């Protein structure tokens, strides 16, 4: 008995629809029901079952029993039900055994090819074994065409294994390309950070030079010895800058030394009008901070304290260990900070460097009470290493 044209056309359409649907589900395996089903294990089992139903129904018209049921219009739903039951048993058995093998520590440690070979062998073996009870139950308690069932299941296992290997290889290639892109993005980000820091350093160094040369120019007329002393201090200042030009960090000790040179320059210029002290706790000096971070804040204290008021300016620089991290405090007796602080370039450069090198790992506070001070807390401790 043969199918008429309408039945044959409908069968082709049904097979095509189920095949396309199965391939769509397969392509979106990792995202289907991700928001609605919380259990990852249950989600994967349901999706695999749906894919299996679609693919098996797509090829079922080629089987003798299914074809006979359609032609005779007898027991069609019974055959369909048996097919679905068989798919359910085989899916949960084959998929979960394969899942256990794939998650095994030994299997995961194998190279890609050996791992795929072991998983494919598991899929084929489980598919063939699952066909035995399915054949027995589906035929009412006895075996019928068992050899054909096992052969069919063998080829089904081979097909599933081929699909699994293909998807695994595609995912591997996708991860490799994503890793390459992430590495490239990371390199570009590093280059961007380096460029931004170099821009900050290059802009702030001429700022030092401008102030120091003005002081030397003034002193060269009135006191040649002081002008010479300031010139030597200025050379030390720029020697520090040049020696660390390829570094984004410097130690607390080096930053304090550099800041002390700057204060010496200002002390030479203003003599008794400027006093300063430096206090550092033991075992703090070897930690790293952004390069040229203290000098702009000290310069800000000198400018607003001494130059604006004309009074004797006292600056106290203190570095201590925090809990966690380190705390840097710069206090002075100059006029209070305004209620709405608009940082100049020097202070802004401090924020920018901390944002680039210690993102979300620092705090800066400007206090007026009980005494005026700037407080920087860096939560992340970075030890001095030659490679930094």
Instruction: Report strand pairing: 249-251 vs 362-367.
Output: unpaired
pLDDT at 327: 92
Structure tokens at 61: 């018209």
pLDDT at 60: 61
Q: 303: part of which helix (H) or strand (E)?
A: none
Q: Are 221 and 370 in contact (CB under 8 A)?
A: no
In tens, the pLDDT along 217-274 reads 877 888 788 888 888 887 877 776 666 555 778 889 888 988 888 888 888 877 778 8
Domain boundaries, the chain: 5-183, 223-378
In tens, the pLDDT along 262-276 reads 888 888 877 778 888
Burial group, residue 29, by CB count within 10 angstroms (0-12, 13-18, 19+): middle
Distance CA 110, CA 287 (A): 42
Burial group, residue 216, by CB count within 10 angstroms (0-12, 13-18, 19+): buried
pTM over 0.85: no
pLDDT at 7: 60
Q: Are 26 and 51 in contact (CB under 8 A)?
A: yes
CATH architecture entry for 223-378:
2-Layer Sandwich (3.30)
pLDDT at 319: 92
The radius of gyration computed from the CA coordinates of the chain, to the nearest angstrom, equals 38
Structure tokens at 91: 């899916």
Low-confidence ranges of the chain (pLDDT < 70): 1-11, 59-83, 134-135, 137-143, 183, 185-208, 211, 240-246, 306-310, 384-388
């Amino acid at each position: 008995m043969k199918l008429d044209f309408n039945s044959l056309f409908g069968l082709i359409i049904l097979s095509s629809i189920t095949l396309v649907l199965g391939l769509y589900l397969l392509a979106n395996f990792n995202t289907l029901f991700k928001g609605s089903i919380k259990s990852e294990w249950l989600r994967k089992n349901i999706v695999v079952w749906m894919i299996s139903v679609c693919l098996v129904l797509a090829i079922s018209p080629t089987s003798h029993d299914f074809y006979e049921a359609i032609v005779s219009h007898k027991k069609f739903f019974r055959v369909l039900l048996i097919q679905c039951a068989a798919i359910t048993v085989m899916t949960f058995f084959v998929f979960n055994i394969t899942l256990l093998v794939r998650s095994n520590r030994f299997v995961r440690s194998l190279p890609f090819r050996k791992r795929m070979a072991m998983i494919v062998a598991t899929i084929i073996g489980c598919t063939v074994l699952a066909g035995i009870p399915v054949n027995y139950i589906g035929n009412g308690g006895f075996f019928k065409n068992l050899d054909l069932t096992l052969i069919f299941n063998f080829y089904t296992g081979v097909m599933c294994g081929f699909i699994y290997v293909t998807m695994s290889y595609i995912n591997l290639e996708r991860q490799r390309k994503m890793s390459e892109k992430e590495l490239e993005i990371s390199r570009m980000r590093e280059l961007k950070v380096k460029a931004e820091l170099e821009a900050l350093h290059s802009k702030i160094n001429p700022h030092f030079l401008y102030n120091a040369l003005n002081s030397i120019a003034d002193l060269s007329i009135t006191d040649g010895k002081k002008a010479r002393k300031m010139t030597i201090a200025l050379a030390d200042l720029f020697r520090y800058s040049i020696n660390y030009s390829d570094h984004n960090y410097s130690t607390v000790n080096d930053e304090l030394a550099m800041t002390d040179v700057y204060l010496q320059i200002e002390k030479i210029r203003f003599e008794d009008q400027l006093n300063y002290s430096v206090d550092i706790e033991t075992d703090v000096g070897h930690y790293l901070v952004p390069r040229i971070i203290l000098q702009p804040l000290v310069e800000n204290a000198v400018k607003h304290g001494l130059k604006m008021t004309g009074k004797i300016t006292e600056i106290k620089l203190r570095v201590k260990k925090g809990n966690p991290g380190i705390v840097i405090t710069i206090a002075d007796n100059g006029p209070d900070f305004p209620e709405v602080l608009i940082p100049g370039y020097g202070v802004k450069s401090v924020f920018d460097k901390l944002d680039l090198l210690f993102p979300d790992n620092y705090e800066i506070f400007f206090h007026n009470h009980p005494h005026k001070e700037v407080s920087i807390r860096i939560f992340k401790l970075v030890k001095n290493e030659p490679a930094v």
